[in-house]
Amino acid sequence: METLENQISDANSLVELEKVRIELFGKKGALAKEFSKLKDVPGPEKKAFAEGLNKNKAALQSSFDERYETLKKEEIEKLLKAEAIDVSLYGNLDEKGAYHPVMATMDKIIDYFVALNFSIEDGPKVEDDFHNFEALNLPKNHPARDMQDTFFFKDGAVLRTHTSPVQIRTMLQQKPPIRMIAPGAVFRKDYDITHTPMFHQVEGLVVESKGEVNFANLKAIMSDFLHYMFGDVEVRFRPSFFPFTEPSSEVDISCIFCEGEGCRVCSHTGWLEVLGCGIVDSNVFDAVEYKDVSGYAFGLGVERFAMLLHKVPDLRMLFEGDTRLLEQFR
């Protein structure tokens, strides 16, 4: 019996164990031999002999099962070990792309206004004088046209200098109440370290009945929007001038680089100018023949937002498909 037990525990692999199984439990195995002796045992002892045999068989079976489990575990362990690799070699193996920070910023801006029930409107980039200037209270020769160096075409068309003509188109096509934003590319003849001949704006316009929309409303949404974009910043409103709004305001946030202490980015003022807004000038409503309405409008430069938000050092780099910059946003 002990020899049999030893045979099981000496098996060092599943293959050896299988051999042992046949030797012990097989038809011609050791146990079968013992059982065959049963017929020669005299009647009265038969029962006791059989019981003894069964007990031994059960004990051996249990030893076998236990050994089997152990060997099986070892075998799997070996198999797994054989498949071992240095997983850390495979991080970031395949390429992934990145949204352009300006486009991603535009998305973030659009998300805000769509959530506030603004529609998205679009218009052509090649515009006529009426939509780009005249209707926006920028008559010919108005000094404010100097603010916007314009690209002209030989047939008198212009590349839109702002997204504001979309306001005019929307007002002409629809009826109040209007709540719209117009995101898109605009063009000005300016090219230096802080200007590119093309950049992106998001323009907004709200028109309701006369007396409904006021400056306090504009202040509320602009403050909220800037907090949404930049988090915990201070917001400052300064009166300014735009031909198509009156009263007009420029809006600053406390400098996110120096937190208002003054640094190179904010020209040591502690403030960063981020958008312009105002109450729509009645001349603009006259140009689209809207009567008894009130409204506000705002506009911002997306590149500026993106540069501030993501601390991008160089404006022109944004237009160069420079993957040294882009890959950082993957």
Partner 1 sequence: MIITRTWLNNFLDISEVSDDTLYKTLNAIGLEVDSITTHTIPEKIVVGKILSCEKHPDADKLNVCQIETNIGTVRQIVCGAANVVNAEYVAVATIGAKLSEDFEIKHAKLRGVESEGMVCSSSELGLPDIGDGIIILDESIGELVVGKELNDYKKLSDTVIEIELTANRGDCLSVNGVARDLSAALNIPLKKFDYESQNQEKIGLARVAKLTTEGEINASLEYVMASMESLHTSLLFSLRLAFVNELQSDSLANILKYITHTTGVILRAYDVGHIDLNSDEKLLISAKNVNDVVHISLDDKLGAHLGIHQEEELKATEKSTQILFQASYMNPNLLVDVVSEQKLDTDELYYNTSRGSEPNLCFGISYLTYLFENYNNSKLFDGSISISREVEDKIITVSAEEICQIIGNDIPKMEIINILKSLGFSVQMTAEENFGVTIPAYRHDIENIQDITEEVVRIIGIDNIEAKALKFVEKNRTNDSMKKYYAKKELRSRAVAAGFDESMSYAFTDRVLLEKYNFPVVNEELDIINPITADFNTLRTTVIINLLQAANRNVNYSKKSTALFEVGTIFNENREEKDMLSLIYTGQKESENVSNAGKPTNINFESFVKKVSSVIGNFELRTSLQINSIIHPYQSADIIINNQTCGYLTKVHPTVSEDFDLKETFVAEIDFSALVPEHINANPISKFQGVYKDLSFVIDKNTPYSQVCLTTRALQLPLLKKFYAVDVYEDESLGDEKSLSLRLFIQSLDDTLKDEQIDDTVSAIINELERVYGAKLR
Binding residues: 246
The smaller minimum CB distance to partner 1, of residues 193 and 216, is found at 216
Could you say which of 60, 67, 118, 203 contacts partner 1 (CB under 8 A)? 118
User: Per CB under 8 A, does 126 bind partner 1?
Assistant: yes
Q: Which two tokens stand for residue 213?
A: 């929309």
Minimum separation from the CB atom of position 197 to partner 1 (A) = 5
User: Per CB under 8 A, does 262 bind partner 1?
Assistant: no
Task: Using CB under 8 A, count the residues that bind partner 1.
Answer: 93
Minimum separation from the CB atom of position 117 to partner 1 (A) = 6
- Region 84-113 residues binding partner 1, contact defined as CB under 8 A: 89-90, 92-100, 102-103, 107, 110
Could you say which of 117, 264, 289, 292 contacts partner 1 (CB under 8 A)? 117
The smaller minimum CB distance to partner 1, of residues 13 and 174, is found at 174
Task: Yes or no: say if 175 and 207 are a contact pair by the CB < 8 Å rule.
Answer: no
Could you say which of 16, 129, 134, 246 contacts partner 1 (CB under 8 A)? 246
Known binding residues for Mg(2+) are: 246
The smaller minimum CB distance to partner 1, of residues 59 and 185, is found at 185
- Spell out a b/e string for 204-240, using b for 16 or more CB atoms within 10 Å of the CB, else e: bbbbbeeeebeeebbbebbbebbeebbeebbbbeeee
- Region 296-315 residues binding partner 1, contact defined as CB under 8 A: none
Measured distance CA(150)–CA(160) in Å, rounded:
8
User: Per CB under 8 A, does 7 bind partner 1?
Assistant: no
Of 278, 282, 306, the closest CA to residue 292 belongs to 282
Minimum separation from the CB atom of position 60 to partner 1 (A) = 50
CA dist 32 to 57, 65, 310, 323, Å?
A: 10, 19, 82, 78
Q: Which two tokens stand for residue 153?
A: 């075409």
Measured distance CA(64)–CA(58) in Å, rounded:
10
Which part of the chain contacts partner 1 (CB under 8 A), choosing from 28-36, 47-55, 70-78, 117-125? 117-125
Which part of the chain contacts partner 1 (CB under 8 A), choosing from 14-22, 53-61, 145-153, 257-265? 145-153
Task: Yes or no: say if 251 and 276 are a contact pair by the CB < 8 Å rule.
Answer: yes
- Which secondary structure element, helix H or strand E, spans residue 220, and what is its range? helix 215-230
Written as one string, the DSSP assignment of 226-264 is HHHHHSS--EEEEEEEETTEEEEEEEEEE-TTTTTS--T
Could you say which of 37, 72, 238, 311 contacts partner 1 (CB under 8 A)? 238
Cβ-based neighbours of 173, under 8 Å, separated by 6 or more = none
User: Per CB under 8 A, does 241 bind partner 1?
Assistant: yes
Task: Yes or no: say if 263 and 255 are a contact pair by the CB < 8 Å rule.
Answer: yes
User: Per CB under 8 A, does 143 bind partner 1?
Assistant: yes
User: Per CB under 8 A, does 203 bind partner 1?
Assistant: no
Site string for partner 1, 158-197 (x = CB under 8 A): -x-----------------x-xx--x-x-x-xxx----xx
Minimum separation from the CB atom of position 136 to partner 1 (A) = 14
Could you say which of 73, 267, 311, 314 contacts partner 1 (CB under 8 A)? 267
Measured distance CA(108)–CA(243) in Å, rounded:
28
User: Per CB under 8 A, does 220 bind partner 1?
Assistant: yes
User: Per CB under 8 A, does 282 bind partner 1?
Assistant: yes
Measured distance CA(39)–CA(202) in Å, rounded:
101
Q: Which two tokens stand for residue 289?
A: 């023949």
Minimum separation from the CB atom of position 304 to partner 1 (A) = 14
